[in-house]
């Protein structure tokens, strides 16, 4: 398998409603993950970009959260509608999407 240029981790952590911490799983992260896989296929970027669903990334209150390596860029509050911009600007042109960046309070 070729080493991908970008590795995108999509938090799909779930927790029961009674849990004291919120979870990306309660905020439509599944449809965000599906949108990433759809774009990956449509844009034929497999091999260059890898998308992996993952457990909690830390700042749960800000989710759905996405982490992109090798840059270590974290996106917060990502909606399905934001995924195209992450591909257009960051994954294909190396320009992180400023409006979606996690604040330094949580990632910095």
User: Which residues sit at the interface with ligand FES, rule CB under 6 A?
Assistant: 11, 13, 23-24, 56-60, 63, 65
Tokens for 4?
């991908």
Would you say 76 and 65 are in contact if contact means Cβ atoms under 8 Å apart? yes
Number of Cβ within 10 Å of residue 50's Cβ equals 18
**Residue number with CB closer to ligand FES (77 or 96):** 77
The CB-of-61 to ligand FES minimum distance in angstroms stands at 8
**How far separated are the first and last CA of the chain, in Å rounded?**
32
**Residue number with CB closer to ligand FES (45 or 60):** 60
The CB-of-19 to ligand FES minimum distance in angstroms stands at 10
The CB-of-80 to ligand FES minimum distance in angstroms stands at 16
In sequence order, which residues have a C-beta less than 8 Å from that of residue 37 and are 6 or more positions away? 51
**Residue number with CB closer to ligand FES (33 or 91):** 33
């Amino acid at each position: 398998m070729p080493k991908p240029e970008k590795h995108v981790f999509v938090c799909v952590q779930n927790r029961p409603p009674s849990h004291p911490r919120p979870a990306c799983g309660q905020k439509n992260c599944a449809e965000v993950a599906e949108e990433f896989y759809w774009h990956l296929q449509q844009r034929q970027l497999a091999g260059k970009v890898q998308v992996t669903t993952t457990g909690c990334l830390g700042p749960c209150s800000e989710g759905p959260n996405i982490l992109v390596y090798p840059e270590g860029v974290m996106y917060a509050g990502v909606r399905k509608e934001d995924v195209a911009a992450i591909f257009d600007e960051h994954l294909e042109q190396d320009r992180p999407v400023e409006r979606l960046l996690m604040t330094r309070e949580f990632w910095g």
